[in-house]
Amino acid sequence: MTTAFTPVSLERRDDYYTRWALTPVHSLDYTLANLWGWQEYYGLEWCFDTDLCWLRQTRPLPVFWAPLGDWQAVDWGALDRTAWRAMLAGTGIDAGNKLIFLRVPEELAKLWQRVLPLGLDVVEDRGQWEYLYKQEELALLPGNRFHKKKNHYNRYKKKYGEDYHNLDNDMIEEVLILQDNWCQLHECHDSPSLVAENKSINRVLSHWNFFKGLCGGSLHADGKMVAFSVGERLGEQTLGVHYEKGLNCFMGVYQAINGLFAQHAGAECVLVNRAQDMNEEGLRQAKLSYLPTDFLRKYKVGIRLD
C-alpha cells in the first residue's frame, strides 16, 4: 500500500480514469469533475498503487474517502494493521484505534465486512445517499404523481417556448455569466456553501475539455440564457447531474431544464443520478418531490486497528 498522497490534479487524470473505469459502482461523488471541482474546498488528495486510487480530504479535518478501482481484485486480507496505520503517516490524524472512511458505497462496505480480517463499524450516512430517478419519469413527468410539476413545465413552455441547446466549450462563458448572475441574486457571498459551489462550478467549467464525458444543456428565453444543467454519464445506463441553475423570475424554469436535460442528455439512459442532499431539509424535500426510484447508498466505515 502506497502512502504518497498529493493534491488531486488534472495531470494524472488518465491514471484516475483507468481506475474509475474498473470501479464497480460509479458514484457522482467520485467523478474526476467532482473531485477537481471541490479539491480546494476539501483539500482533496490522492495516491495511486497498482490496483487502486486512494483518496483523502484534509479540510476541515483529515479523513479518508473510499478507494477507486477493481475492489474485487484486491487482496484485502493481506492488509494488516501495519498497512492500514501507514495511511495515517503525515496526516496529523489522531485516529486512536480506528481508521475512518466517509462516502463509502454500500457494495464496498459489504465487501469489507466479508473479507477484512479487522473489525468494522459501519454506519448509514443518509445525507450522502445519491438520489436515483427513472429517466423516463424525469423526462416526461407522467401521470397524477407529477401533475404539479408538469403544470409548471407547461406554463414555462407556453410562455417562453423550449429553446434548448446542448452545451459545448464555446458556450461556457455565457454559462458562467448566468452563474454569476444567479449568485448575485441569491447573495452567495453570505453563504459559505454557495461560495464553495460557485468556485467549484467555475473551476470545472473553465477546464471543460479536460474531463471525459461532460455534457450540458441550456434554456434560452427573451434572447438570453435563463438556465443550465451540467452532468456526465456514469456508466452505460446512468446520467449524473453535477449542477443545475435557473433564474427564478422565469416561472417553471427548473421543471423545464430538469425535464429537457433528462430528455436530451439522458436519452439513452435508464436512470438519472441527482446527487445527495447533505442532510439539508429543504434540499431533501425538493429531491423527494421528484419521487426517486432508488438511492446509491453510502456509509461511514471505521476500521478498528486495536
Q: What is the pLDDT of residues 253-272, one digit of tens each?
A: 999 999 999 999 999 999 99
Instruction: Please report the pLDDT score of residue 117 as a whole number.
Output: 85
Instruction: Please report the pLDDT score of residue 95 as a whole number.
Output: 58
Residue 6 reports pLDDT greater than 70? yes
* Fold topology of 6-125+298-304: Aminopeptidase (3.40.630)
Q: What is the CATH number of domain 130-275?
A: 3.40.630.30
Burial per residue of 222-237, b for 16 or more beta-carbon CB atoms within 10 angstroms, e otherwise:
eeebbbbbbbbbbeee
Alpha helices in the chain (DSSP H): 13-22, 32-37, 39-42, 81-86, 106-115, 135-140, 147-160, 172-185, 192-205, 253-264, 281-288
Residue 94 reports pLDDT greater than 70? no
- The top-scoring range by mean pLDDT among 42-46, 168-172, 188-192 is 42-46
State the CB neighbour count (10 A cutoff) for residue 72.
11
Q: Which of 242, 37, 248, 257 is nearest to 166 (CA)?
A: 257
- Single-letter code of the amino acid located at 134: K
Q: What's phi and psi for 91, nearest 5 deg?
A: -90, -20
Looking at the chain, the whole-number percentage of residues with pLDDT higher than 90 is: 85
Mean model confidence pLDDT for the chain: 94
- Cα 161 from chain centre: 30
Cell of 191: 453563504
- Do 297 and 129 form a contact (C-beta atoms < 8 A)? yes
Task: Report the interhelical angle of 147-160 vs 253-264 (nearest 10°).
Answer: 90
- Single-letter code of the amino acid located at 186: H
Instruction: Please report the pLDDT score of residue 217 as a whole number.
Output: 97
Residue with the three cell numbers 466505515: 301
- Do 49 and 1 form a contact (C-beta atoms < 8 A)? yes
Instruction: Please report the pLDDT score of residue 80 as a whole number.
Output: 82
Instruction: Please report the pLDDT score of residue 54 as a whole number.
Output: 96
In which residue ranges of the chain is CATH 3.40.630.30 found? 6-125+298-304, 130-275
Distances (CA, A) of 12 to 5, 114, 137, 211: 13, 32, 37, 12
Residue 155 reports pLDDT greater than 70? yes
Instruction: Please report the pLDDT score of residue 1 as a whole number.
Output: 59
CA dihedral (276, 279, 283, 284) in degrees, to 10, reads 80
Mean local confidence (pLDDT), 25-39? 98
Mean local confidence (pLDDT), 176-192? 95
Instruction: Please report the pLDDT score of residue 81 as a whole number.
Output: 82
Instruction: Please report the pLDDT score of residue 58 as a whole number.
Output: 94
